[in-house]
Structure 1
Amino acid sequence: MLFQRIFLFFQGYVIVTVKGRHLERFINLAVSRGYSLWNISRPSPEVMTAAVPVSIFPYLRHIAKASKCRIKIESKRGMPFILLKICRRKMFFTGAVVFLISLYVLSLFIWSVEVVRSGELKLIKEKQILDEASKNGLRIGAFKPSLATDTIQKAILYKFPQLSWVGVEIRGTKATIEVMEKILPDKSHLDRRPGSIVAAKDGIIEEILVLSGEAKVAEGDTVRKGDILISGVIFPEDEENEPQRTNDGKITNDEEQKREPMRFRARGIVRALVWYEAEKTVPLIEERSRPTGRKKELLVLRFGGKEMILKGGKGVPYKNYRYMKRSWKIPRIGKTIIPAELAFETYWEIKKEKVYHSMAEARDIAVTRAEKEISGKLKPETKVISRKVNVKSLEEKRIHVVLIVEALEDITRFVPMKEK
């Protein structure tokens, strides 16, 4: 059956309409003479449509005349008719061939180079990787068959020892450089700069552990932001004996050195009770946007200051909508910029509706929003002790809520000393 359809497509066939009172006689005469008809349908008792090979259509005219019917071609299908249309539109066919050849030639070049990383690059910059790849031939406009991905990978690894792995992949006209930086050990413990630990925020001291330095606060003390918690400066204790002096009454150099304060890096843990506050107002009648599911898609070709809509009509049929655009620009070839852009634009219809809340619902919504705001400020190790909700104002149209969260967290911040 499939082979027969393929054969008929290359041979060509026509869809005909036969009108008359003796359609059964028309079919019987055609079949008795060995003519094949398929996809026969009868929209009405005196009208019939069928598909027939183009080669037998002239003979069906005689059969139609003998059965007192009229026959007419509705459409022509198959390869012969397609070729005939192409011959009549030579310029269109030539343009299509040139377009396909140009598309194939352009697909042999790289038009996009992207760096994909597992995390934020801290040791090197993305531009440095792209520059090194460009030196080794991987750049926009590079001829794909001439690129050796293994050589480019080794060159980038050799240039940047901070990278532990490099992979180069080419898909279509896009080249992707995947990189992974080496994970270096934390060197904060090697920092020997002298300094003190100060309070990063206001609070009440709950726990203090001094590893090095001198504690300036105790448990239960109230501190302000910037107060010294653990000092990195320790003065020597006063000696019982008087310091040795010279004949003119000045302290000797050795004694002066003994009385100089010791400066080093303060270390320790200080946990304090701190408070976070957030205020939220929720109206009892809120206006929200709900998607209806309907959308309009446009395919737009822009060249210079002009645009041509290839798919979809002009204008947006929705009063309220959400808009998204995805565009593809022709990359710059050397110093030549081609001002062409192909954009896919989507408009989703949204419906604005009013939502009514009770007092309790509005309060819960305000508390939830305030909790979300505060949770974004908390450190991972912060321990929440308590929470308090205050209804600051309660009106007929809105409710105002204040959320206060009490938490226990480390408030230390190291401040290095200024060198003399």
Structure 2
Amino acid sequence: MVLLRLFSFLMGYVSLVVKGDFLEKFVNMAASRGIFLWDISRIGQDKVKVKVRITDVRPLRHIARATQSGFSIVERRGFPFLIHRLKKRKLLVMGGIVFLIALYVLSSFVWFITVTGNEKLTDAEIKKIAAEVGLTPGAAKWDLDPKLIERTIREKIPAVAWAGVYVKGTRVIIEIAERKLVTERPNKEPAHIVARKAGLIKEVLVLNGQAMVQEGETVLPGSILISGEIKEEVKPDPSNQPLPEGQEPPEPQYISHFVRAKGFVRARVWYEGYGECALTETVEKMSGKQRNSICIKIGSKEIIISGPEGSPYQHYETKEIVKSLPKWRNIAIPVEIRNVQYSEKIIERIDHGKAGAQKIAEAKALEEINTKLPKGAKIAERRLEIINTGRSEDIIRVKAFVEAIEEIGVSKTFKAFKEEKVWPNVQN
């Protein structure tokens, strides 16, 4: 079928309006004599519209007389008619040919250079090295040697571990991978482990330092959990003489050792989340249907090459891609190719019902909490509560409460700890 229609376009075809009382006989006789009719549609009680190749119009006259019918040509399409119209517009044809030749010539040069993958190196540094081997805007693509450009970039920029050069149309993409040097050194500066959030202590495991909290204590953000200051009591010399009667022993003396505290402090932390959902709501979604419209814009005039002039859908989204010719010696060429994509949207009204709306609201409340939970946290308890505002509403509101057990300790150097506000531990 596609080949037949393509052949019909090359040979030329017309649209006919056939009028008569024996239209079925007209169509059957045409088919029996090998005349191909397509896009047959009834436009009235005694009228049909058909398409037929131009070479079959003359034989149809005999069939029309035999069936007491008549027809008229309402549309002419195909390559022969296109050529006929273009003969009357020689300047337009010449302009189109000149435009295509110019487009082909300009597409044989590099106009855009893009650098990707660089983090520390700048685009200018890489483009400067590439320019030394001929990669500049306006360079002919047939003079480029991608392998030579890649090798030159690697040799002259030691920080580049790998380079790739890809020519795509009038754009050249330089993709690089930088060398990553590991220069991290362990930080041995003394530090505390402090609480980054409030919670109820569940477990304390000290690897280095001195524990400042116990299980069952409540802490606030900034409370010291494991101290980096270890105090050791100085024991009295056993050879000293016993104290006289009635004299109190001296206060114990301590020596402090400063270390970088290490350990794990797990606590019970509480979170709240809120979610709501209307009993009925309007939802927009994409249907998957799309139509493209391609046109050439010359100055203020647009010539549609293919597709509709506007959106064929009632509700839609548009995505427009505009490609323009680059400047030639600072002269802007006012020619653009616009590709507009129309995507159909379907607007539906969904009735969730009370149970469905409650389920959605609960999921939203829990999702809000999940965004707050740190990695590795374990949920110990979860509770959902419907909020009753006392008013008649078409919205279900839900609040979620989650108790999680998680690591709340974070290392802070002594200097950083002093600069921040410190909260005291709160005992239960």
TM-score by length of 1: 0.65
Which position in structure 2 is the counterpart of 1:112?
112
Q: Distance between the aligned counterparts of 1:136 and 1:123, measured in 2? A: 23
Q: Which amino acid aligns with 1:354?
A: R
CA pair 301-42 structure 1, distance change in 2 beyond 3 A: closer
Question: Mean Cα displacement is larger for which, 133-142 or 407-416?
Answer: 133-142
CA pair 358-103 structure 1, distance change in 2 beyond 3 A: same
Matched, 1:380 2:375: yes
Question: Mean Cα displacement is larger for which, 220-229 or 89-98?
Answer: 89-98
Q: Distance between the aligned counterparts of 1:349 and 1:403, measured in 2? A: 37
- Select 1:175's aligned residue among 151, 172, 179: 172
Which position in structure 2 is the counterpart of 1:266?
261
Q: Distance between the aligned counterparts of 1:167 and 1:376, measured in 2? A: 39
- Select 1:393's aligned residue among 388, 391, 394: 388
Q: Distance between the aligned counterparts of 1:385 and 1:14, measured in 2? A: 76
Q: Secondary structure at the match of 1:150?
A: helix
Could you tell me how far 1:224 is from its partner in structure 2?
A: 1.5
2:276–2:360 Cα contact (<8 Å) kept: no
Matched, 1:193 2:210: no
Q: Secondary structure at the match of 1:220?
A: coil
Q: Which amino acid aligns with 2:151?
A: K
Q: Which amino acid aligns with 2:96?
A: A
Q: Which amino acid aligns with 1:151?
A: L
Could you tell me how far 1:166 is from its partner in structure 2?
A: 1.9
Q: Distance between the aligned counterparts of 2:403 and 2:174, measured in 1? A: 47
For residues 169-203 of structure 1, give each alpha carbon's deviation from its aligned partner in whole angstroms, at most 9, with x where no partner exists: 2122222223334455583x622333322222222
Q: Secondary structure at the match of 1:279?
A: strand
Q: Distance between the aligned counterparts of 1:313 and 1:388, measured in 2? A: 55
Which position in structure 1 is the counterpart of 2:143?
146
Q: Which amino acid aligns with 1:231?
A: S
Q: Distance between the aligned counterparts of 1:76 and 1:391, measured in 2? A: 67
Q: Please give the root-mean-square deviation of Cα atoms over the aligned residues, in Å.
A: 4.5
Structure 2 unaligned segments of length 5 or more: list them.
1-8, 17-32, 39-51, 59-72, 238-252, 419-428
Which position in structure 1 is the counterpart of 2:302?
308
CA pair 299-87 structure 1, distance change in 2 beyond 3 A: closer
Which position in structure 2 is the counterpart of 1:61?
none
Which position in structure 2 is the counterpart of 1:407?
404
Matched, 1:103 2:103: yes
2:316–2:345 Cα contact (<8 Å) kept: yes
The 5-angstrom pairing of residues 6-405 of structure 1 reads: 51=55, 89-117=89-117, 123-124=120-121, 128-130=125-127, 132-134=129-131, 136-182=133-179, 185=182, 187=184, 190-235=186-231, 237-238=233-234, 240=236, 262-292=257-287, 295=290, 297-299=292-294, 306=300, 308=302, 310=304, 311=306, 316=311, 320-331=315-326, 341-393=336-388, 395-405=392-402
2:13–2:53 Cα contact (<8 Å) kept: no
Q: Distance between the aligned counterparts of 2:123 and 2:53, measured in 1? A: 66
Q: Which amino acid aligns with 1:326?
A: I
2:292–2:308 Cα contact (<8 Å) kept: no
Q: Distance between the aligned counterparts of 1:296 and 1:77, measured in 2? A: 23
Q: Distance between the aligned counterparts of 1:198 and 1:225, measured in 2? A: 8
Question: Mean Cα displacement is larger for which, 196-205 or 264-273?
Answer: 264-273
Could you tell me how far 1:362 is from its partner in structure 2?
A: 1.1
Which position in structure 2 is the counterpart of 1:64?
none
CA pair 146-51 structure 1, distance change in 2 beyond 3 A: same
Q: Distance between the aligned counterparts of 1:259 and 1:368, measured in 2? A: 56
TM-score by length of 2: 0.64
2:234–2:255 Cα contact (<8 Å) kept: no
CA pair 337-84 structure 1, distance change in 2 beyond 3 A: closer
Could you tell me how far 1:280 is from its partner in structure 2?
A: 0.7
Q: Distance between the aligned counterparts of 1:278 and 1:403, measured in 2? A: 5
Could you tell me how far 1:149 is from its partner in structure 2?
A: 1.5
Could you tell me how far 1:277 is from its partner in structure 2?
A: 1.9
Structure 1 unaligned segments of length 5 or more: list them.
1-8, 18-37, 58-72, 242-257
1:282–1:398 Cα contact (<8 Å) kept: yes
Which position in structure 1 is the counterpart of 2:21?
none
1:288–1:352 Cα contact (<8 Å) kept: yes
CA pair 153-240 structure 1, distance change in 2 beyond 3 A: farther
1:297–1:312 Cα contact (<8 Å) kept: yes
CA pair 13-163 structure 1, distance change in 2 beyond 3 A: closer
Matched residues, percent identical? Answer: 34
